[in-house]
Amino acid sequence: SQELEQSPQSLIVQEGKNLTINCTSSKTLYGLYWYKQKYGEGLIFLMMLQKGGEEKSHEKITAKLDEKKQQSSLHITASQPSHAGIYLCGADEGGKLIFGQGTELSVKP
């Protein structure tokens, strides 16, 4: 079955700095989802990527899927305390989602 590896596992950045989170799959990705989770809460949908080379942006967050469709990156520009949380990538596998272990982001004011 498909496995997703996220890196780094945790990240502490100063407010205003840029950062990147990576998600690598053991198989070709046919639908890659990024979610954000605040402690004790459910997952908030950020973006979905499907096509090789696809890139999507929402506010200061940009997600990309590489041409080979085995790796995705999430980039945050000028980070803010509101960006803090756990970022999860999830791969569509026949309708269900297989998730990475998550990346915990802390933003220091």
Partner 1 sequence: GAGVSQTPSNKVTEKGKYVELRCDPISGHTALYWYRQSLGQGPEFLIYFQGTGAADDSGLPNDRFFAVRPEGSVSTLKIQRTERGDSAVYLCASSPDAGGTDTQYFGPGTRLTVL
Q: Which residues bind partner 1 (CB under 8 A)?
A: 4, 30-31, 33, 35, 40-45, 48, 50, 88, 90, 92, 94-102
Q: How far is the CB of 45 from partner 1 (least distance, A)?
A: 6
Q: How far is the CB of 55 from partner 1 (least distance, A)?
A: 17
Q: Which of 103, 38, 105 is closest to 72 using CA atoms? A: 103
Closer of 60 and 99 to partner 1 (Cβ): 99
Q: Which amino acid is at 109?
A: P
Distance separating alpha carbons of residues 97 and 91, to the nearest angstrom: 5
Distance separating alpha carbons of residues 90 and 47, to the nearest angstrom: 11
Beta bridge partners of 20: 75
Q: How far is the CB of 102 from partner 1 (least distance, A)?
A: 5
Closer of 19 and 86 to partner 1 (Cβ): 86
First vs last C-alpha separation in the chain: 41
Closer of 38 and 108 to partner 1 (Cβ): 38
